[in-house]
Amino acid sequence: MRNKVTVVGAGNVGANCAVRIADKELADVVLVDVVEGVPQGKGLDLLQSGPIQGYDVMVTGANDYEPTANSDIAIITAGFPRKPGMSRDDLLLANYDVVKTATEQVAKYSPNCIIIVVTNPLDAMAQAAYGVSKFSRNRVVGMAGVLDSARFRTFIAMELKVSVENVTAVVMGGHGDTMVPLVRLSGVSGIPLTELMDQATIDQIVTRTRNGGAEIVKYLKTGSAYYAPSAAAVEMAESILKDKKKVLPCAAYLEGEYGINGLFVGVPVKLGAMGIEKIYEISLTPEELALLKKSAAAVQELVDVLKKK
């Protein structure tokens, strides 16, 4: 039997998740969106790419969740982008309502699925999905670190003119300006970054990584990144569906790890058939830990706004 993935939100990120899942022949896909016709149209278009791309998965679209029943994974990308005049908190509250509804429906129709949250502000939205679904913590995971570390890896590879495949990088913390790219644990084929670049270049790359999303928004003007975000979400889905047990930086609900309790924060995890199968609690320097705590505090602020709702 084929696997089944629900993708909530048939916008830029959602549709590209569907494309990548189909191209990799990972699962049948059901796209769900509130806009009438869009998920159906995109689903049919994607289905008709099958004979050319050589995949046999079924891709459909819907405005309700009944067709999503018994999905193995639900990727939640639905939400609004920030509009002029909107505060961070306004976006937070608007997207909370979207993620809440999506999670309720996903949990109703696919009570055994694993939820991958992509909607921003990421860590707070993952926390919302966790709270609403009442799933165990291994079954709700947020996509952020895979994207942030891919950006970090890209910039390192560009600077050194080496294959991106040889570059490994760890980014922890919340998905925002406070994220923590861990230079000490990043490198090229086992060679520490500090052996390959001077501090000024490293600092420049770290700053560019932190602002990676904003750099793209500035170019696109009307939206945010979607190729790399969808690739990141699908790498996570693939690791779960194939039980690959990849170790990836993801937003996970911490219960005391790193001294953080009751909060989604980006940390290295093992992703397999059970979802988050392990949270790696690595030893950090006091400086790194302080940055992680600062980042967690920024996530906590948003979560506190939601608590008042």
Q: Known catalytic residues?
A: 175
CB of 234 closer than 8 Å to CB of 17: yes
- Measured from the CB of residue 268, what is the shortest distance to ligand APR in angstroms? 21
> Pattern 244-283, binding to ligand APR, x per CB under 6 A?
----------------------------------------
Give the count of beta carbons closer than 10 Å to the beta carbon of residue 189: 10
Among 11, 61, 249, 275, binds ligand APR (CB under 6 A): 11
Q: Does 216 bind ligand APR (CB under 6 A)?
A: no
Element (H, E) at 99: helix 88-109
Q: Are 151 and 228 in contact (CB under 8 A)?
A: yes
| Interface with ligand APR, residue 115, by CB under 6 A | no
Binding to ligand APR by residue 79, rule CB under 6 A? Answer: yes
What is the rounded distance in angstroms from the CA atom of residue 160 to the CA atom of residue 165? 13
Task: Name the token pair of 204.
Answer: 């420049």
* Residue 183 CB, nearest approach to ligand APR (Å): 25
Binding residue for ligand APR (CB under 6 A) from 6, 77, 209, 295? 77
Of 257, 256, 260, 261, the residue nearest 281 (C-alpha): 257
- Residue 283: Cβ-neighbour burial (10 angstroms; 0-12, 13-18, 19+): exposed
Q: Please pick, from the candidates 21, 78, 205, 265, the single residue that binds ligand APR as defined by CB under 6 A.
A: 78
Query: Residue numbers of the site for ligand APR (CB under 6 A)?
Result: 8-14, 32-35, 77-79, 81, 98, 101-102, 118-120, 223-224, 226, 229
